[in-house]
């Protein structure tokens, strides 16, 4: 009876350990880790439409890359943390730059990222408290733009006013989104330790690489 051929497939745990080893090796170096954006989670589930600083539009960045006016590589690399949770796809990563991640995820969906991966910079987790915050349960795979003040309000009633209950709900949602966005900016201003590479062409959007240092 012939010998059973050994399986060459890595288990989920082995895949996780291999990915973590590669991530740890890249910490503090100029080496980028290449990751599928679909494996990267948002720190917050709502994001602002504008980049910080001069206020370039997130959607305009995506449109410029899709139209060929800019390359995806010209976006400053996002920073990520490597989580402790994993599945058959490997570890989950957590972005510290949510608006740029939104652009990269859209490009991945449209097949506009070479190899379906993007170069990221890995930052070491600072504390157990930070590690506990970045989990699958706390961080989303999708994000939506927070509403501008007054956006999406329904008109109703004799004078076009919003009914009390609907108005209260919408105001509560807007307040929650605003607080979450402010929290994201505070978190990111502390987390962005490494300046983005100089001369990356991000200025083509009216942004310089040092201006989007919150949750971009």
In angstroms, rounded to a whole number, what is the distance separating the alpha carbons of residues 43 and 58?
17
> Poorest-confidence range of 82-86, 127-131, 167-171?
167-171
* Average pLDDT in the chain: 77
Antiparallel, parallel or unpaired: β 118-122 and 144-145: unpaired
Name the pTM for this structure. Answer: 0.71
Residue corresponding to tokens 């919150």: 214
Q: What is the pLDDT of residues 27-43, one digit of tens each?
A: 988 899 999 999 999 99
Across-strand partners of 123?
none
Q: What are phi and psi of 151, to 5 degrees?
A: -70, 140
Strand, coil or helix: 130: helix
- Host H or E run for residue 21: helix 12-26
pLDDT in tens, 200-216: 334 444 444 333 334 57
Q: Output the six-digit token pair for 205.
A: 């959007």
pLDDT of residue 118: 97
Token duo for residue 30 = 């100029």
């Amino acid at each position: 009876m012939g010998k059973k051929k050994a399986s060459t497939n890595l288990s989920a745990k082995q895949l996780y350990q291999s990915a973590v080893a590669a991530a740890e090796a890249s910490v503090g170096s100029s080496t980028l880790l290449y990751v599928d954006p679909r494996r990267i989670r948002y720190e917050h589930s709502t994001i602002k439409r504008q980049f910080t600083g001069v206020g370039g539009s997130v959607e305009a960045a995506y449109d410029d890359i899709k139209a060929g006016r800019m390359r995806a590589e010209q976006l400053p690399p996002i920073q990520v943390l490597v989580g402790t949770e994993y599945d058959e796809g490997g570890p989950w990563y957590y972005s510290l730059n949510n608006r740029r991640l939104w652009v990269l995820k859209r490009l991945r969906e449209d097949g506009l990222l070479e190899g379906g991966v993007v170069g990221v910079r890995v930052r070491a987790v600072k504390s157990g408290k930070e590690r506990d915050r970045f989990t699958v349960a706390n961080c989303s795979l999708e994000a939506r733009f927070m509403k501008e003040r007054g956006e999406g309000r329904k008109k109703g009633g004799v004078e076009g006013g919003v009914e009390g209950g609907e108005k209260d709900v919408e105001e509560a949602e807007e307040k929650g989104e605003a607080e979450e966005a402010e929290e994201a900016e505070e978190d990111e201003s502390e987390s962005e330790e490494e300046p983005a590479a100089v001369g990356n062409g991000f200025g083509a959007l009216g942004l310089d690489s040092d201006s989007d240092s919150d949750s971009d």
